């Protein structure tokens, strides 16, 4: 695709004009959450100004508008993912999606000693829910480059494996895992697969029908959409067989004190007043991604990533953590003599926003023998100038700490 027009893209993100300690903002914390374009802000504002009402439960005009917009958002999201609307369960985010699968799908089938096979690079939200459900989590080995050791993963796919759960793109390292191949191999052995797509949907166009995973969880806020909203894709036959996990309004067909019956898919899993503006905002975010083009965003981020990788190689005492061949726009690093948090504070003074810490991947940090990294992560609006600002700030930090 022709390169994206960076100035035009940036003009659509008002927050990028903020001054930080008097400096230009280099926002490099996109793996934590992305900024929102005007079109998403407008969709949220328009909804509350002109359509706000509770959905599904009234005959008045505003309720009709809210319901129409909300359900149109579901159609839009389903089309983006290439699945049916009945298979798109609305959640609060990736975390809630995984917890739903843990409680409603896994737990009822679990026998003592059963395992969930994950990888050594999982976010805590793809470890703890399985443990809470009563499963043992087994993790496949990670190489020194931060890639998944597929042979070790295959060796750990065993008779006790009840579910395979894998992160599509690592939030800490940027590693892109070969999920299509893994889905195929696990399913050939009759093992269902969940893919944690939190970091993938803003960078890779996920055709979930083609991928064929049983479950795919995502958060709107990591793909230019609002916080507090997400989608769990689940294959229809699973959703039909799974019991609801939250009870309340909207998820029922009939209620009596003796027994209740459940609503159709996906409402069976959506108890209570939903996040209408979240769904509408996410649909607007997907429109925005399509208007730029995922392939173009991907190519641009890969260019900035390559530039950043080269720039950081020149910073004294700095070591990149995670050098996988297939990587999304994440630069995780440590600097000799500097704690990650101190490094982050110096960068902040220079207007550079990065995240420091374990990034909710404590087992991965342990694997690399470090407590934390500093992490710069990219989105469509980042450019080589952000990397230059980061590199200059890192040189300053190096002079301070060494
Ligand atoms: N998985 C990965 C790989 C993530 O990066 C995150 C967010 N940092 C999550 C899961 C959890 O997403 P959320 O907090 O939006 O539920």
174, 205, 366, 179: which is closest to 293 by C-alpha?
205
Helices and strands per DSSP (H, E), number in the chain? 14, 17
Q: Above 90 in pLDDT, residue 2? A: no
Average pLDDT over residues 67-78: 97
What is the pLDDT of the chain when averaged over all its residues?
Answer: 97
Q: Looking at the CA of residue 94, tell me the nearest atom of ligand 1.
A: 16
CA 3 vs CA 280, 295, 303, 399: distances in Å: 29, 10, 10, 36
Probe target for ligand 1 pocket from 219, 223, 227, with the most ligand atoms within 8 Å of CB? 219
Probe target for ligand 1 pocket from 92, 125, 174, 330, with the most ligand atoms within 8 Å of CB? 125
pLDDT at 153: 98
Verify whether ligand 1 is closer than 6 Å to residue 196 (CB atom).
Answer: yes
Q: Which residues contact 6 (CB under 8 A, 6 or more apart)?
A: 300, 381, 383
> Which pTM value belongs to this model?
0.98
250: its two tokens: 């909207």
Fold of domain 51-290? 3.40.640
pLDDT in tens, 115-167: 999 999 999 999 999 999 999 999 999 999 999 999 999 999 999 999 999 99
CA of 217 to the centre of ligand 1 (A): 9
Distance CA 47, CA 50 (A): 6
pLDDT band at 56 (very low <50, low <70, confident <90, very high): confident
For residue 41, which phi and psi values (nearest 5 degrees)?
A: -60, -40
Q: Tokens 């799974």 identify what position?
A: 242
Given a contact cutoff of 8 angstroms between Cβ atoms, the answer to whether 177 and 170 are in contact is yes
Which neighbouring-strand residues pair with 167?
196
Average pLDDT over residues 203-217: 93
CA of 53 to the centre of ligand 1 (A): 30
Q: Which residues contact 323 (CB under 8 A, 6 or more apart)?
A: 145, 146
Q: Above 80 in pLDDT, residue 392? A: yes
Verify whether ligand 1 is closer than 6 Å to residue 373 (CB atom).
Answer: no
Given a contact cutoff of 8 angstroms between Cβ atoms, the answer to whether 176 and 204 are in contact is yes
pLDDT band at 58 (very low <50, low <70, confident <90, very high): confident
Average pLDDT over residues 70-95: 98
Which neighbouring-strand residues pair with 165?
194
pLDDT at 203: 87
CA of 192 to the centre of ligand 1 (A): 21
116, 160, 161, 117: which is closest to 141 by C-alpha?
117
Verify whether ligand 1 is closer than 6 Å to residue 199 (CB atom).
Answer: yes
Fold of domain 6-29+293-401? 3.90.1150
DSSP-assigned states of every residue in 59-124: -SHHHHHHHHHHHHHHHHHHHHHTS-GGGEEEESSHHHHHHHIIIIIIGGG--TT-EEEEETT--G
CA 1 vs CA 110, 204, 206, 240, 293: distances in Å: 47, 15, 18, 41, 9
Given a contact cutoff of 8 angstroms between Cβ atoms, the answer to whether 188 and 4 are in contact is no
Angle (CA) 280 281 282, round 5°: 90
The reply to whether 360 belongs to the active site is yes
265, 296, 145, 283: which is closest to 225 by C-alpha?
283
- On the question of a common fold for 6-29+293-401 and 51-290, the answer reads no
- Given the cut 0.95, state whether the ipTM is greater than it: yes
DSSP-assigned states of every residue in 115-149: EEEEETT--GGGTHHHHHTTPEEEEE-B-TTS-B-
24: its two tokens: 């230009």
pLDDT in tens, 311-348: 999 999 999 999 999 999 999 999 999 999 999 999 99
77: its two tokens: 């999201």
Q: Above 80 in pLDDT, residue 390? A: yes
Given a contact cutoff of 8 angstroms between Cβ atoms, the answer to whether 30 and 22 are in contact is no
Of 20, 205, 252, 360, the active-site residue reads: 360
pLDDT in tens, 252-281: 999 999 999 999 999 999 999 999 999 999
pLDDT at 89: 98
pLDDT in tens, 349-362: 999 999 999 999 99
% of the chain surpassing 70 pLDDT: 100
Query: What are the residue ranges spanned by the domains of the chain?
Result: 6-29+293-401, 51-290
pLDDT band at 28 (very low <50, low <70, confident <90, very high): very high
């Amino acid at each position: 695709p022709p390169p994206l027009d960076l100035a035009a893209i940036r003009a659509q993100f008002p927050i990028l004009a903020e001054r930080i300690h008097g400096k230009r903002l280099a926002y490099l914390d996109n793996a934590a959450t992305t900024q929102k374009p005007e079109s998403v802000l407008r969709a949220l504002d328009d909804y509350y100004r002109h359509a706000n009402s509770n959905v599904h439960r009234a005959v008045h005009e505003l309720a009709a508008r809210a319901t129409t917009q909300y359900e149109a958002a579901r159609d839009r999201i389903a089309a983006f993912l290439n699945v049916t609307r009945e298979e798109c369960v609305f959640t609060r985010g990736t975390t809630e999606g995984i917890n739903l699968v843990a409680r409603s799908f896994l737990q009822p089938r679990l026998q003592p000693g059963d395992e969930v096979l994950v990888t050594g690079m999982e976010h805590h939200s793809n470890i703890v829910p399985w443990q809470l459900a009563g499963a043992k989590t087994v993790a496949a080995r990670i190489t020194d480059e931060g890639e998944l050791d597929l042979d070790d993963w295959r060796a750990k796919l065993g008779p006790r494996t009840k579910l395979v759960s894998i992160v599509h793109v690592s939030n800490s390292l940027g590693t892109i895992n070969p999920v299509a191949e893994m889905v195929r191999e696990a399913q050939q052995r009759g093992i269902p697969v969940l893919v944690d797509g939190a970091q993938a949907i803003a960078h890779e166009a996920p055709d979930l029908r083609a991928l064929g995973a049983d479950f795919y969880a995502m958060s709107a806020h990591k793909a230019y959409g609002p916080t507090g909203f997400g989608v769990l894709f689940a294959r229809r036959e699973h959703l039909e067989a799974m019991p609801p996990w939250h009870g309340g309004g909207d998820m029922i067909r009939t209620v009596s004190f003796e027994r209740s019956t459940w609503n159709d898919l996906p409402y069976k899993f959506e108890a209570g007043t939903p996040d209408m503006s979240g769904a509408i905002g996410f649909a607007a975010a997907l429109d925005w991604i399509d208007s730029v083009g995922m392939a173009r965003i991907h190519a641009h981020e890969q260019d900035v990533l390559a530039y950043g990788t080269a720039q950081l190689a020149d910073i004294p005492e700095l070591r990149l953590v995670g050098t996988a061949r297939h990587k999304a726009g994440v630069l995780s690093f440590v600097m000799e003599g500097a704690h990650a948090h101190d490094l982050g504070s110096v960068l902040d003074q220079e207007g550079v926003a990065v995240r420091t810490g374990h990034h909710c991947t404590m087992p991965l940090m342990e694997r690399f023998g470090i407590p934390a990294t500093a992490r710069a992560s990219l989105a469509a609006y980042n450019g080589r100038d952000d990397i230059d600002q980061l590199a200059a700030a890192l040189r300053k930090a190096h002079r301070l700490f060494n």
